[in-house]
Amino acid sequence: MDESLKKLLDFLIVAEFAQAMLLIFILFVMNRNKKANIFLATFLFILSSNFFSYYLSKAGFKMMTLIIAVLSVPGISILGTLIYLYALFMTGLIEKLRIKYLFHFVIYFINFILFITAVYNLKGSPPESEFFRKTIFIILSIGFVNSILYIIYTLFILKKYYKKIENYYSDIERMNLYWVMKITTLSFIVLAFWCITFWSVHLGIIPKSPAGMVFNVTMFIIINFITAYYLINQPEIFKQNLEMNREIDDGTEIKNGTEKYAKQSVDERMQDEYIEKLNSFMDRNKPYLNENITIKDLAEFTSIPSHHLSIVINSRLNKNFYTFINEYRVREAIDILDDPENTEANILAIAFRAGFNSKSTFNSVFKKITGQTPSEYRNKIDAKSELAS
């Protein structure tokens, strides 16, 4: 059984490494989100190299094993850091790396020195020597814990980002980064499992088996597939998110779906004036028909400061900007569907006319607001028409 697992493991390691190298190549040649891609590519390289060095060691490539291990074994300590920095760039929380961010790599440098020292002190001794084993245990233990903590914090950042974009964009489908949440969650599961099995084997709680490595490599393959699938379709969002964060930092901090205002507040009389002005503009000019409209755009159109507009929409209307705009779009779509002249118009055309930029978003938003899909709504209209005739 173990022999079959070992052969399966060898195949999976080579397949995963080849897959990761192809994905890294794609990341470096892409013209979108270039700064963020550097961190994701490094993350994938370190993950893949840790197991590929194991394969090279079994195959007898000692020098190549050592070169890759020097980079990848201490690199476990920055797997979480790399995902964290990738998330910061993609969400627009940082524009460029500064010297202060080197602080996040301190543990890596410490582990790197420890690993080099351990390798140097081998001096012909087998890798099973007590000093080497203890050093590797310390390096990997510190690395696992550090990366897991960074990944947990990254999940918190992504969750906060989702709330933020709903208060700024009217279309969040291409901005939501749900796939980053998926690979971050999977990375947490893999590292937690890897850490527990590593400790258990080292302490003699469970015997050493290739089964755990098969699970980890399989999970890495899944992470690579998810990354490749969504990465190809991920548009450039770095600049838009930078602008969003600058706009929000000007006067607001979004927290738990409501607005916590740091600099300015608006009294009720002014809020009433803003609501009247906003409703009048929405009905007269229909800005929601612009599929890319943001709260900054609407603020400029209405001459209402964007943080004041946020207060009105969140506090007085009890909804975020995304819901506010899409309710108008759904009403527009209902008007189009109710018009007898549009009985032959297809659902996608109606979605575009109402301000949506995809059929999937149109269907989900329409159903959330009305309780039925656009097709179901149209079928009811058709049934009533038939009864009437």
- What residues make up the domain containing 215? 2-166+178-235
Task: Please give the single-letter amino acid code of residue 250.
Answer: D
Q: Is residue 30 part of a domain?
A: yes
Mean pLDDT of 348-358: 93
Check whether 384 has a pLDDT greater than 80: no
Assess whether pLDDT exceeds 50 at residue 260. Answer: no
Query: DSSP letters along 313-382, please?
Result: IIIIS-S-HHHHHHHHHHHHHHHHHHSGGGTT--HHHHHHHHT-S-HHHHHHHHHHHHSS-HHHHHHHHH
- In the predicted structure, residue 231 carries a pLDDT above the cut 80: yes
Closest CA to 293 of 318, 325, 334: 325
| Per-residue model confidence (pLDDT) at position 387 | 65
The pLDDT of residue 83 is above 90: yes
Residue type, 109: F
Does residue 172 fall inside a structural domain? no
Check whether 132 has a pLDDT greater than 60: yes
Query: What is the rounded CA–CA span in Å between residue 311 and residue 314?
Result: 5
pLDDT greater than 80 at residue 248: no
Q: How far apart are CA 76 and CA 146, in angstroms?
A: 9
Q: What is the CA radius of gyration of the chain?
A: 27
Domain-embedded: residue 368: yes
Q: How many CA atoms lie within 13 A of 359 on its CB side?
A: 6
Lowest-confidence range among 183-187, 246-250, 254-258? 254-258
Residues 226 and 254 in one domain: no
Q: Count CB-CB contacts under 10 A for residue 223.
A: 24
Q: Indicate if 136 and 79 belong to the same structural domain.
A: yes
Using DSSP bridges, classify how beta strands 258-261 and 252-255 pair: parallel, antiparallel or unpaired: antiparallel
Q: What is the pTM of this model?
A: 0.87
pLDDT at 33: 87
Q: List, for residues 268-289, the tens digit of each pLDDT value.
A: 888 889 999 999 999 999 999 9
Domain count of the fold of the chain: 2
Whole-number pLDDT of residue 62: 82
Note the pLDDT of residue 74: 94
pLDDT band at 256 (very low <50, low <70, confident <90, very high): very low
Contact residues for 293 (Cβ-Cβ < 8 A; gap 6+): 170, 287, 325, 355
Closest by CA position to 34, among listed 234, 247, 292: 234
- For residue 374, what is the domain's CATH number? 1.10.10.60
SS3 state of residue 91? coil
Same structural domain, 254 and 220: no
Residue 253, pLDDT score: 43
**Looking at residue 327, what is its pLDDT?**
96
Domain for residue 171, yes or no?
A: no
- Is 261 found in the same domain as 228? no
> Of the candidates 356, 167, 359, which has an alpha carbon nearest to the alpha carbon of residue 244?
167
pLDDT of residue 385: 67
SS (H, E, C) 60-89: CCHHHHHHHHHHHHHHHHHHHHHHHHHHHH
Burial class from Cβ neighbours inside 10 Å (0-12, 13-18, 19+) for residue 241 reads buried
- Res. 386: pLDDT tops 80: no
* 73 has a pLDDT exceeding 70: yes
Whether residues 82 and 214 share a domain: the answer is: yes
Same domain, 143 and 289: no
Among 208, 235, 262, the domain boundary falls at 235
Q: Are residues 203 and 143 in the same domain?
A: yes
Domain match, 195 and 320 both = no
- Asked if residue 274 lies in contact with residue 288, where contact means CB atoms within 8 angstroms, the answer is no
pLDDT of residue 193: 93
| pLDDT at residue 176 greater than cutoff 80 | yes
For the chain, first and last CA: distance in Å?
Answer: 72
Judge whether residue 126 has pLDDT over 80: no
Residues 298 and 330 grouped into a single domain: yes
pLDDT-derived band at 204 (thresholds 50, 70, 90) equals confident
The phi and psi torsions of 255 (rounded to 5 degrees) equal -145, 125
The rounded mean pLDDT for the chain is 88
One domain for residues 248 and 201: no
DSSP state of 263: S
Distance from C-alpha of 61 to C-alpha of 67, rounded to nearest angstrom: 10
Residue 173 inside a domain? The answer is: no
Q: Kindly report which listed range (43-57, 84-98, 132-146, 243-257) carries the lowest average pLDDT score.
A: 243-257
**What is the percent of the chain with per-residue pLDDT over 70, rounded to a whole number?**
92
Chain centroid to Cα 18, Å, comes to 24
Report phi then psi at 169, rounded to 5.
-100, 150
Centroid of chain to Cα 146:
20
Q: Tell me the average pLDDT across 40-51.
A: 94
One domain, residues 326 and 202:
no
- Of residues 70 and 128, the one with the higher pLDDT is 70
Q: Would you say residue 353 has pLDDT above 60? A: yes
Look at residue 124 and tell me whether its pLDDT is greater than 70. Answer: no
Domain assignment of residue 20, yes or no: yes
Do 216 and 266 lie in a common domain?
no
* Helix or strand run (H / E) with residue 249: helix 238-251
What value does the mean pLDDT take over residues 43-70? 89
Report yes or no on 377 lying in a domain: yes
